[in-house]
Amino acid sequence: MTELVTVKGETYDNKIALWERNPAHPSGEAYVADGMIAQVALTPEVQTRLGSGLLVLTDEQPNEPFEGYATMSADKIAAHIEGLGDIERVIVRQYEATHKKRSVVIEATPAPIDGYDSMTVSDVLSAKESMTPEAWASLVEYEAKHKNRKSVIEA
């Protein structure tokens, strides 16, 4: 198992300090922006970011992902995730994976494509051309549970 470290994103022209998909991270993905604190796996990319100063090691504890988080049940958080954008979902899952470890929250339905929630029907149909049939089936399932746009579901 890869070592976990607590890092803080340093302010650098409002850039993202780290966004990495790697199964070594507690939720399989890590996102850290300016001033944000998170527990992440000590992957080669994290080591590179530490060396460049985009990330710094810290003893500070990560903040809850949003106000009222501590008072919500796992089911309420999972339902709340569906109304969040891609980045916010990642932040919730990464926090949960290193704190309460409730699978219903960690496994809450992720968007099928980065930026999906802001994609138009035309954008989605263009993306279909480069998707496997299995990936498209997953996208249609997600669409039916969320925006439920007939033109995407019937494509």
CB count in 10 Å sphere of residue 33: 17
pLDDT average, residue stretch 127-152: 85
pLDDT average, residue stretch 137-150: 82
Say if residues 122 and 93 touch (Cβ distance below 8 Å).
no
Contacts of 126 (CB under 8 A, 6+ apart): none
pLDDT confidence of 6, banded at 50, 70, 90? very high
Whole-prediction pTM: 0.69
Q: What angle separates helix 121-128 from helix 133-145, to the nearest 10 degrees?
A: 160
Say if residues 49 and 22 touch (Cβ distance below 8 Å).
no
Say if residues 43 and 29 touch (Cβ distance below 8 Å).
no
The residue assigned the tokens 């399932």 is 141
Mean predicted lDDT score pLDDT of the chain? 88
Does 47 have pLDDT greater than 90? yes
Q: What is the predicted pLDDT for the residue at 119?
A: 86
Does 115 have pLDDT greater than 80? no
Does 145 have pLDDT greater than 70? yes
